[in-house]
Structure 1
Amino acid sequence: MLGIFKIAYKLLVNDRAKFAALLVGITFAVFLMIQMTSLFSGVLSRSSATVINIGATMWVMDPAVQTVANSIPMPDYVLDEVRSIPGVKYAVPLYSGGALAKLRDGTYQFVTVMGLDDATLFGRPRLIDGNIQDIFAENGFIVIKDAEFAKLENPTIGTEFELNDHRVKIVGIGEVATSGLFGVPTLYTTYNRALQYLPNTRFTASYILVEPKTASDAAVIAGRVHAMGYLALTKDQFIDKIAAFYTFRTGLGTNILLMTVISFIVGLSISGQTFYTFIIENLEKFGALKAIGAKSRELVAMILFQAAFTALTGYGLGIGLCAVMIWLARLRIPDYAAVITFPNIGLAFAMVVIIAGISSYVGVRKVLTIEPFDIFRG
């Protein structure tokens, strides 16, 4: 069988034009599939940036909340009710809102403001410059150094600007696990200062962050919160809820799915047609092998080997090309969201296997019907 595979390999690569066309078709299809699904994964990851960065075990919110960005304030008594639930280790409020910052040069920049519980500062970012205690100083804010940092004119410790006619002083520069989705710089301050600086309704708490005493207490807490008319989700459940919103309630999921299917069809049509042409042009060689004693199963093995070799080579080239393109894009566009994940790679591999299977099926049917007499008759 090893000899059969060597013959199949030589037949495949000797016709460089057809081999190159097969590789280009599959590589291009894999590139598009990985690119589209990676962009989708990156967007979903960025959409849950606040949930990931804060790191709370459970989130209490209004049932109408769809994403972490469209928070609906809750009455203050909800916090007291949650703290009184058996199984709650602690619960703290979180403010999340947006405002316009007036920079030193007079320009305006929209920013996201996160207000942390004054007593615990739960969810605070990791500081790379400054002292976390300075956040309690007058007008103290922490700025996140991410892809949007430059939009605030690269502030340093002591930089000042205006926020809703209030003076803001940068007392720390922090970093978080992931940047946000919408290209907006992020500021952290205390909960009470956020309420003081930003206009609010009579309800103020955007979310309540809860830490259960044990993992089993999460279900009990969720049930009690539901009885109050509110929603309690674990970190993973909240991330899934946000992902479901962007996947099914917006056009994002449909558009990405459509582009992925188109990529699959392009790869299938190019590789299938090219492989069929390759089989037709080498039909005499397959007939000669059959005439000298090659069995049908050996010819089938040759075609399967050729299809698998081409598909896997194109698969690797497609992933490599996509990785290079994402790397180059991030050099020029720091907040580019695409990220290659194992599910993306697995989905592309499954589609490549289908492409190789259909292409080889077309070739196998043609080769199995050939008779040596037809080849040597001319």
Structure 2
Amino acid sequence: MKFPGLLLIAYKLLVNDRGKFSALLLGITFAVFLMVQMTSIFSGILSRSSATVSNIGASVWVMDPAVNTVANTIPVPDYLLDAVRSVPGVRYAVPLYLGGALVKLRSGAFQAVSVIGLDDTSLFGRPVLERGNIQDIYAENGFIVVNDAEFKKLENPMLGTEFELNDHRGVVVGIARVAAGGLFGVPTLYTTYSRAIQYLPTTRFTASYVLVELKDAQAVVRIKQAVAQLGYLALTKQEFIDRISNFYKYQTGIGTNILLMTAISFIVGLSISGQTFYTFILENLDKFGALKAMGAKGRELVGMILFQSIFTALTGYGIGVGLCTLLLALAKLRLPDYASLITFGNLGLAFGMVLLIAAISSYIGIRKVLRIEPFDIFRG
């Protein structure tokens, strides 16, 4: 028998039994939907946890060794800034202030905010302005507000809007946009470094980080060595992002919970599809026996089963990814700060698990089909 004809028979056997085919699709679709959903939430959390690092964009970050996340700031001494500036290969180094505060809005309500203080001279790391002039940040009490998902929590401020921050008057002089929103659901304000340390209470040391730009890539090693000798840590942008990601993966319960949910989703999909596919094979055992009696070889029957399993798996994978994408898109329309991000890694992980489900389901069916004898089928 010709193999394409056998595949056509396998396709008709599969789709003509609508109940079994629907159950197979439902199991795989549900598993893919949950796996992509869970891993997408985790990817969104990891992406937003390092949003400040991405938005500032410094090549090298110098910090206290105990810092695990960008929001967990530990002030560093001023002499560290001077030491970094003296390292050969450093183009320039500037301080960055990063802290939290409460602002009193026009309505009298209080709102938690994140305050970023930029170097007064260079304003390195400044956001892109949608409205206003960047030079106005030097004006008295000047602040720039980031227009992201948390913007409404500041009662939709406009240029000239006033607020109070730690009993100091603040004025919105610019509205900006950034590449990535934050994780913790608080609005972000930018101002100058000197104003930030003036308005907000600080310890003996005031700089949260030292940001470094390089003349050449080889300077990274020299900076790390010089900073390490002083008891501090220097990380490239990507190394800092990886450090933050590892903290959320391994030192919080987020990674473990997502891993468990993904494993449960895989087990549910495997259980439903494996059991349903085995039942499907049992109900069509006489047809496979008849094909074997007509001359179909064992490898051709194996090919038919693999085709049925892979076709079902890929169809369920496509439907599951589509449903998950649609749900995430609708969720972000209603909840702009919803932290979820579908990546190629998420899709690849789900695809690999679906292929594993298809392989196990096929193995169960193949064992049963290869053991049948046409004599037993016709005698029954």
Q: Which residue of 2 aligns with 1:121?
A: 123
- Is 2:66 aligned against 1:57? no
Give the residue type in structure 2 aligned to 1:12. L
How far residue 301 of structure 1 moved from its aligned partner, in angstroms, is: 0.2
- How do residues 223-238 of structure 1 correspond to structure 2 at under 5 angstroms? 223-238=225-240
Cα distance in 2 for partners of 1:182, 1:374 equals: 66
How far residue 182 of structure 1 moved from its aligned partner, in angstroms, is: 0.4
How far residue 223 of structure 1 moved from its aligned partner, in angstroms, is: 1.1
Q: Which residue of 2 aligns with 1:219?
A: 221
Deviations 1:278-305 (A, max 9, x none): 0000001001101111111110000000
Q: Which residue of 2 aligns with 1:339?
A: 341
How many pairs does the alignment contain? 378
Give the residue type in structure 1 aligned to 2:337. D
How far residue 335 of structure 1 moved from its aligned partner, in angstroms, is: 0.3
Q: Which residue of 2 aligns with 1:284?
A: 286
Find the partner of 1:86 among 88, 93, 96.
Answer: 88
SS of 2:100's equivalent in the other structure is strand
- Is 2:73 aligned against 1:75? no
How far residue 96 of structure 1 moved from its aligned partner, in angstroms, is: 0.1
Q: Which residue of 1 aligns with 2:277?
A: 275
Give the residue type in structure 2 aligned to 1:149. F
Cα distance in 2 for partners of 1:219, 1:270 equals: 54
How far residue 321 of structure 1 moved from its aligned partner, in angstroms, is: 0.6
- How do residues 122-271 of structure 1 correspond to structure 2 at under 5 angstroms? 122-271=124-273
How far residue 178 of structure 1 moved from its aligned partner, in angstroms, is: 0.4
Cα distance in 2 for partners of 1:86, 1:376 equals: 87
How far residue 219 of structure 1 moved from its aligned partner, in angstroms, is: 1.3
* Runs of at least 5 residues in structure 1 that lack an aligned partner in the other structure: none
SS of 2:93's equivalent in the other structure is strand
Find the partner of 2:326 among 324, 327, 347.
Answer: 324
SS of 1:11's equivalent in the other structure is helix
Give the residue type in structure 1 aligned to 2:338. Y
Give aligned-pair identity as a percent.
73
SS of 1:97's equivalent in the other structure is strand
How far residue 87 of structure 1 moved from its aligned partner, in angstroms, is: 1.2
SS of 1:167's equivalent in the other structure is strand
Q: Which residue of 2 aligns with 1:26?
A: 28
Cα distance in 1 for partners of 2:340, 2:275 equals: 32
Cα distance in 1 for partners of 2:9, 2:222 equals: 66
Deviations 1:251-304 (A, max 9, x none): 000000000000000000000000000000000100110111111111000000
SS of 2:210's equivalent in the other structure is strand
Cα distance in 2 for partners of 1:170, 1:101 equals: 12
How far residue 359 of structure 1 moved from its aligned partner, in angstroms, is: 0.1
Cα distance in 2 for partners of 1:123, 1:212 equals: 15
Cα distance in 1 for partners of 2:160, 2:376 equals: 87
How far residue 331 of structure 1 moved from its aligned partner, in angstroms, is: 1.0
Give the residue type in structure 1 aligned to 2:80. V
Deviations 1:162-187 (A, max 9, x none): 00000010000000000000000000
* Runs of at least 5 residues in structure 2 that lack an aligned partner in the other structure: none
How far residue 220 of structure 1 moved from its aligned partner, in angstroms, is: 1.3
How far residue 77 of structure 1 moved from its aligned partner, in angstroms, is: 1.1
Deviations 1:320-354 (A, max 9, x none): 01000100111111100111000001000110010
Give the residue type in structure 1 aligned to 2:47. S
SS of 1:63's equivalent in the other structure is coil
Deviations 1:72-113 (A, max 9, x none): 001111111110111111000000000000001110000000
- Is 2:378 aligned against 1:376? yes
Q: CA RMSD in A?
A: 0.5
SS of 2:88's equivalent in the other structure is coil
Deviations 1:109-137 (A, max 9, x none): 00000000000000000000000000000
- Is 2:319 aligned against 1:311? no
- List, as ranges, runs of 4+ consecutive aligned residues in structure 1 with deviation greater than 6 Å: none
Cα distance in 1 for partners of 2:146, 2:6 equals: 61
- How do residues 293-312 of structure 1 correspond to structure 2 at under 5 angstroms? 293-312=295-314
How far residue 216 of structure 1 moved from its aligned partner, in angstroms, is: 1.4
